[in-house]
């Protein structure tokens, strides 16, 4: 995704830009399960973060300091969301990416919890909470954005040697 494309999608959810909230995907385009079904498939911590928009403690997640090549999938539904090519060391305690894998893999919603204006990032396939995206923090990345994602929301599928 180009920097311009990425910025367009971020601004579509920017609470200060006055642009409407993105809609949830239409019926049939999104994995739909009851809370009971999700609880059967996910650990209690995965359910708390993915389905209840929780946050894992910083520096405790599996991938915050990982440098392994591969693709990061949604832990709830398996959709491919990010790659190691866009992962960078932000030293914030959570995995950080400067862009999602492709347009439409994540969706953005306004998050006004905890007295803050933030942009929440969710899986476009199953509407699970992934984390938040921040802009203008001065990281030397192509988009000047930091997708701060919970490790428990992701599953890394390592690239095979030579790929």
Active site residues: 148
Q: If DSSP states are collapsed to H, E and C, what string results for the chain? A: CCHHHHHHHHHCCCCCCCCCCCCCCCCCCCCCCCHHHHHHHCCHHHHHHHCCCCCCCCCCCCCCCCCCCEEEEECCCCCEEEEHHHEECCCCCCCEECCCCCCCCEEEEEECHHHCCEEEEEECCCCCEEEEEEECCCCCCCCCEEEEECHHHEEEEECCCCC
Specify whether the CB–CB gap between 10 and 106 falls below 8 A: no
């Amino acid at each position: 995704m180009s920097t311009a494309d990425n910025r367009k999608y971020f601004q579509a959810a920017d609470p200060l830009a006055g642009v409407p909230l993105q809609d949830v995907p239409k019926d049939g385009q999104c994995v739909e399960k009851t809370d009971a079904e999700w609880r059967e498939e996910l650990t209690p911590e995965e359910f708390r973060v993915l389905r209840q928009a929780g946050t894992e403690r910083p520096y405790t997640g599996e991938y915050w300091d990982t440098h392994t090549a591969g693709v990061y999938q949604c832990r709830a539904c398996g959709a491919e969301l990010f790659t190691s090519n866009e992962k960078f060391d932000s030293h914030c305690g959570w995995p950080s990416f400067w862009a999602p894998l492709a347009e439409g893999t994540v969706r953005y919603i306004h998050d006004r919890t905890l007295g803050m204006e933030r942009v929440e990032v969710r899986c476009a396939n199953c509407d699970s909470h992934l984390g938040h995206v921040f802009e203008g923090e001065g990281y030397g990345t192509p988009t000047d954005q930091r997708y701060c994602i919970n490790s428990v929301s992701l599953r890394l599928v390592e690239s095979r040697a030579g790929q």
